[in-house]
Amino acid sequence: MKADIRTPLGRVRGLGSARDGTGHFWRQRLTAASNVPLLLYFVVFLISVQGTGHAGLVAALQNPLNAIAMLLVVISAVVHMRIGMQVIIEDYVHAEGLKILLLMGNTFFAVFVGLALVFSILKIGFGG
């Protein structure tokens, strides 16, 4: 038997059962913090293009700053959504097989939504 001279706190600090530790927690907090200014920008953007019609919205998204900001909104929101739903699934679904299926579905859904939104923004931004 191998003797471990680390303290109990030293053994667990930064390491959870998946050896991921607090990284998951901090990614969720980081995306939450980034969502605040990004979603405020998104709301202001929506208010500024209100009443301009399709052509006005397209023209606004062809501005590189607006397109980049919208891409950041999408990426941050989708990553936050996936992490949040993963936590809910892990906490409240107790059947192991169902949990795995739901976690896979959550990831596929987030990737699909994220790619569709990024594609749409890029297509408009590049004038397609």
- Which residues are CB-contacts of 15 (< 8 A; sequence separation ≥ 6)? 21
Please give the Cα distance from 74 to 36 (Å, whole number).
Answer: 13
Distances (CA, A) of 107 to 3, 38, 116, 126: 40, 23, 14, 28
Do the Cβ atoms of 16 and 31 come closer than 8 Å?
no
Express each pLDDT in 54-75 by its tens digit.
999 999 999 999 999 999 999 9
Please give the Cα distance from 114 to 109 (Å, whole number).
Answer: 8
pTM of the model: 0.80
Express each pLDDT in 15-57 by its tens digit.
555 556 578 889 999 999 999 999 999 999 999 999 999 999 9
Domains by residue range for the chain, with CATH: 22-125 (1.20.1300.10)
